[in-house]
Amino acid sequence: MMLPVTRWDPARGPLELRTLRHALEREGLTTAWWSEMPGGRIPEHAHPFSESRWMVSGYLRVVVQGEIIDLGPGDRLDLPADTPHALEVVGLSPAVYVTGAEAAAAPPTG
């Protein structure tokens, strides 16, 4: 499964947390931001909804069905629903990223 990585277009504005969140929200997605420490790992898992992951800073390695996808600042990866994937922060800096999911898939609040 070859998943394309989309690069940030500077014409859209500065590469900042709020800019990425607004871009995903304009697509109708519910957003959240995450920060993972260097060396951090999230074991293989899947979501019953599609998910977008957009890097603000740092570097994140995503493994999808044996394929290694390295993401850096401004890189976006869209994962289809039910796609098993694992994450690992690479490098010496924390990885900060924004996720977007369909509003119906967002966890309830309150």
Q: What pLDDT does 104 receive?
A: 61
Q: What pLDDT does 42 receive?
A: 95
- DSSP letters spanning 30-52: EEEEEEE-TT-EEEEE--SS-EE
Nearest Cα to Cα of residue 97 among 8, 13, 21: 21
Element housing 26 (H / E)? helix 17-26
Calculate mean pLDDT across residues 75-101.
96
Q: What pLDDT does 102 receive?
A: 84
* pLDDT exceeds cutoff 50 at 103: yes
Q: What pLDDT does 109 receive?
A: 43
Q: How many helices (H) and strands (E) does the chain have?
A: 1, 9
Q: Specify whether domain 34-103 bears CATH 2.60.120.10.
A: yes
Domain ranges of the chain: 34-103
Q: Is 11 left (phi over 0), alpha (psi -120 to 50) or beta?
A: alpha
The phi and psi torsions of 17 (rounded to 5 degrees) equal -50, -50
- Report pLDDT digits (tens) over 19-53: 999 999 999 999 999 999 999 999 999 999 999 99
